[in-house]
Structure 1
Amino acid sequence: MKTYFALIFSLFIAATAFAQNDTTQKIVEGRKNSPDQEKKPYVILISADGFRYDYAEKYKATHLLALSSSGVSASSMIPSYPSVTFPNHYTLVTGLYPSHTGLVNNSFFDRNLKESYSMGNKTKVADPKWYGGTPLWVLAEQQHLLAASFYWVASEAPIKDTRPTYYYIYNDKISIHNRIEAVVAWLKLPAESRPHFITFYLPQVDHAGHLYGPDAPETEKQVHFVDSAVYELTKAVTTTGLNVNYVFVSDHGMTKIDREHTISKPAAIDTSKFIVSGDDILVQLYAKDRKDIQETYQQLKKEAVDYKVYLKENMPTNLHYGTSDDWHNRIGDILLIPNWPKVFNMYGRKQLNPGTHGFDPYAVMDMHATFYAWGPAFKSHLKIPEFQNVNIYPLITAILGLNYTEKIDGTKQLAQEVLK
């Protein structure tokens, strides 16, 4: 019996390792652009993870500044709460707040499924049951407009039984040169097979921001890497002869935290009564018995120093993260939110990274993200004020001429403001 379980475990490890190192392009066969869709514009949606709203100017990202100057630049883009990677990437491509997509954090518990989601679990990341809404690539494919993804949150999952026609399983083994070559190859395909919507993801700035902080030379170096990568992408794409529109965004910003005075696990948290989920910036308690909620809430309120305690029903309404917004029943019964720049250290780690994100973007400007756009669909030399990231979805659907009927949280105001 031990040998059997050892074999099963080894196969699981091998399968996980393969998934993390699978560099082959996936193609859904049998799809073609409809004749009408072949005439549609092209959009490349680029995300530079953790690229704070001020990084381009702070670190003199000359190519991005020049490209955005030729088109549209926003003073900043406001991420949805919580300002973390998976929820915001999925919000960008659905036009829905995280509470409405169901992807309410990088990790969380689902009461109905009695199961937890984690962005580090490749099997769950690829399971469509976790994702509400209709991502842009699904909407495009439903309307016979081909899509491609060189990485994006949920692009590996068959949401509504649909993946992009061309996609890759996320890994860090493929060089930036080869990624750019793949995009160009897509755009050089015959018109009937050519994707009109492409996602392109760059994680480098976020990694550096966490490890070294937003003001470190290592972070500056990765800003310059992204700056060069985007420039090389635009140069390579020009060889196709196509007039392509670019939307450059980030999911959130980055801030320096107080690592010397972290918040320990509150004594009032009883793990026999609550499932605890979350991270340094947002801790969520899911009651095993609802009768325990009020007493624990009151105890936490008395105990709280450097953090706020909320019941789900009294969360600030502007965060869209309370009872009425919890469409998928995945937000905790009690939520603990540290006061910036404080963070929780729930498990007594000896050293925390100097940089992080996840705070309320309406209270902490460092959480704000970047938005630049350029190409034939966009007005020239236009600067706009900050806006919410749920508006990216209707912007891209307007460029591509895609129709959507489902309720979303974004509006068409941004599209009306920045498109010709």
Structure 2
Amino acid sequence: MTTPTNKNDPSSSKVANSSDGLRNRANEQGRPQSQQWSRLLVLCIAVALGGVVTARALCPDVAWLSRQHIDLLCSVPSSLLNGWHAAPNTMSNGTHEFRETMILISVDGLRQEYLERGLTPHLLEMSKTGLRADYLNPIFPTLTFPNHWTLMTGLWAESHGLVANKIFDPATKKVWLPTKKESFEPEWWFGEPMWETAQKAGLKTADIMWPGPRTSQSGATPTYSVPFNFSYPIDAKLDRILEWMDMPIEERPQLITMYEPSLDNSGHETGPHSLRTNQTLAKIDSWAGNLTASLQARNLSDIVNVVILSDHGMADTSAPELIYMDEILGEDFVTIEYIDGWPSMGLHLFPEANASRILEKLYAAEDPTKFEVFTRETMPARRHYANNPRIAPIFITPHLGYALTTTVLNGTEISVGNHGWDNIYPDLRAVFLTQGPFAERMKTKAAAYASGSPRSDSDLWQSTKGSGSDGYVMTNFNNIEIYNLAMHMLGIQDRAASNNGTVGFWDAYV
């Protein structure tokens, strides 16, 4: 990408006029014009690095240049050389230089169906000026922390270690809970987050409250960071993003990540169909409109990639059928050392427990229409949820509409809206939409297919009606692909860490 010439910079016109003179003199001496420009570039670099003596050594016949021209080259080499280096990586919004940038926003609990309620005109407009996916498929379990760390690393839960919102580590006997400060120590979080990869590539990064550690296992931290705070207003988050975007290019982050929990809170406390949930949804949509307008006002729509997505959906769990696990297991229930994995039940057993008898009781009570019992060996492969010691050796998963509990709790742990069940349920589907230069590249390639160009990726798009009501709609995909999307948007895909994303997934789109 070529850096636009600053027409208001007198030195730019001075260089242009002088180079015209050099070109004319060269042509008068019979040299090909392309050869003279190549020699001029070498000369500029030589002057910048070593002065006129070095220039004459590299170009012994430099005598055809006048002393006036040599003096001119000596007076502007740094700007000329900097522009030559920066050109492939910078863009101008008309007043300032920018590098490839991505703003990644997660709206917790934004389920795919919410976009069909007539309450999200700005999000829908964003998806039409850009594009969206039919839906984004969360990993199992459909819980906040496992999915956010998958979005950040491109790893399944069994690979990154955040296997639930409540975890028992049998090796250390430690318990992970989101309310414990020590749960955010790096030892719990495996994988390389995208902000670490970006910084390794020389980019600056910024984060607002993304669910995860502030420091990776290698000791890396985002360049700028706002710690988790439930009371941090969403409008203040926009202000902070714009402050970062308005920084000088040397200080400005190229990757900005942000987390917003208010919609998930509304869904849990009042259910996915409540007035409060709809009001929160409308507020978030208005916020998205303000973000888009703010970027347009800065003439950044063709420079900054914006991605808005969610970690999972939200289901109505106001009247589940309760299944009492202590009644099923009887006296063996007290031999369970720890239960984690809610709304599933992961059973970690004491050494003296009779695992075979416990499994027999569970299999005898199992009703595949209500709940299923798995071991690590029998866990469905599509879940990628077996190869980690933090995953309990006996794992019971209820179907949506059912809840596992005990006679003591009697279902009191279940709110009217929830998630965490299998990712096959439509209510738990997440959202993905994006706009910016990367989306335009995807649409350009999709349009070539729609116009009849020979292609083999018809399964990539659900709709390519650029002027229709649907716009460009990708076929649903797994959220493990988001890490590699960030690498592509930032132009550092060759620096990506090892992850579970599909090799070549985004290459097929662009």
Shorter-normalised TM-score: what interval? Answer: 0.7 to 0.9
What SS does the corresponding residue of 2:264 show, helix, strand or coil?
helix
Matching residue of 1:408: 499
- Deviation of 1:159 (Å): 3.5
What SS does the corresponding residue of 1:314 show, helix, strand or coil?
coil
Deviations 1:190-213 (A, max 9, x none): 111110000111111111111122
What SS does the corresponding residue of 1:377 show, helix, strand or coil?
helix
Residues 235/400 of structure 1: CA separation in 2 closer, same or farther (3 Å cut): same
Contact 1:258 1:342 in 2 (8 A): no
1:96 to 152, 155, 159: 155
Matching residue of 2:268: 210
Deviations 1:63-93 (A, max 9, x none): 0000011111111111000011000011011
Matching residue of 1:63: 122
Alpha-carbon distance in 1 for matches of 2:245, 2:288: 16
Structure 2 residue 101 is matched with structure 1 residue 42: yes
Larger mean CA deviation between 330-339 and 297-306 belongs to 297-306
> Which has the larger Rg?
2
Structure 2 residue 454 is matched with structure 1 residue 395: no
Deviations 1:9-62 (A, max 9, x none): xxxxxxxxxxxxxxxxxxxxxxxxx97877641100011101001211224300
Alpha-carbon distance in 2 for matches of 1:71, 1:219: 26
Task: Tell me which of the two structures has the higher relative contact order, counting C-alpha pairs closer than 8 angstroms and 6 or more residues apart.
Answer: 1
Residues 418/47 of structure 1: CA separation in 2 closer, same or farther (3 Å cut): farther
Alpha-carbon distance in 1 for matches of 2:413, 2:336: 26
Counterpart mapping for 1:156-167 below 5 A:
156-167=214-225
Deviations 1:203-230 (A, max 9, x none): 1111111112212222111111111111
Residues 219/124 of structure 1: CA separation in 2 closer, same or farther (3 Å cut): same
* Matched residue count: 380
Matching residue of 1:86: 145
1:277 to 334, 339, 342: 339
- Deviation of 1:353 (Å): 1.6
Larger mean CA deviation between 176-185 and 347-356 belongs to 347-356
Counterpart mapping for 1:340-351 below 5 A:
340-346=400-406, 347-350=409-412
Matching residue of 1:308: 372
Larger mean CA deviation between 81-90 and 158-167 belongs to 158-167
Residues 134/82 of structure 1: CA separation in 2 closer, same or farther (3 Å cut): same
Matching residue of 1:236: 294
Contact 1:266 1:300 in 2 (8 A): no
Larger mean CA deviation between 368-377 and 296-305 belongs to 296-305
Contact 1:156 1:168 in 2 (8 A): no
What SS does the corresponding residue of 1:343 show, helix, strand or coil?
strand
Deviations 1:245-304 (A, max 9, x none): 111110001111252532223331745422233354211111222863222111122233
Larger mean CA deviation between 192-201 and 249-258 belongs to 249-258
What SS does the corresponding residue of 1:378 show, helix, strand or coil?
helix
- Deviation of 1:94 (Å): 0.5
> What code does the residue aligned with 2:375 have?
L
Matching residue of 1:338: 398
> What code does the residue aligned with 1:69 have?
K
Residues 182/378 of structure 1: CA separation in 2 closer, same or farther (3 Å cut): same
What SS does the corresponding residue of 2:202 show, helix, strand or coil?
coil
Matching residue of 1:26: none
Contact 1:59 1:223 in 2 (8 A): no
Alpha-carbon distance in 1 for matches of 2:352, 2:118: 50
Alpha-carbon distance in 1 for matches of 2:353, 2:188: 28
Counterpart mapping for 1:65-214 below 5 A:
65-125=124-184, 127-214=185-272
Contact 1:56 1:223 in 2 (8 A): no
Residues 358/190 of structure 1: CA separation in 2 closer, same or farther (3 Å cut): same
> What code does the residue aligned with 1:60 have?
L
- Structure 2: stretches of 5+ with no match in the other structure: 1-84, 91-97, 444-470
- Deviation of 1:143 (Å): 1.6
Contact 1:77 1:388 in 2 (8 A): yes
Matching residue of 1:9: none
Counterpart mapping for 1:368-387 below 5 A:
368-379=429-440, 380=443, 381-387=471-477
Counterpart mapping for 1:11-22 below 5 A:
none
Alpha-carbon distance in 1 for matches of 2:117, 2:421: 21
Structure 2 residue 309 is matched with structure 1 residue 249: yes
- Structure 1: stretches of 5+ with no match in the other structure: 1-33
Matching residue of 1:367: 428
Larger mean CA deviation between 97-106 and 305-314 belongs to 305-314
CA RMSD of aligned residues (A): 2.2
Residues 280/343 of structure 1: CA separation in 2 closer, same or farther (3 Å cut): farther
Matching residue of 1:297: 359
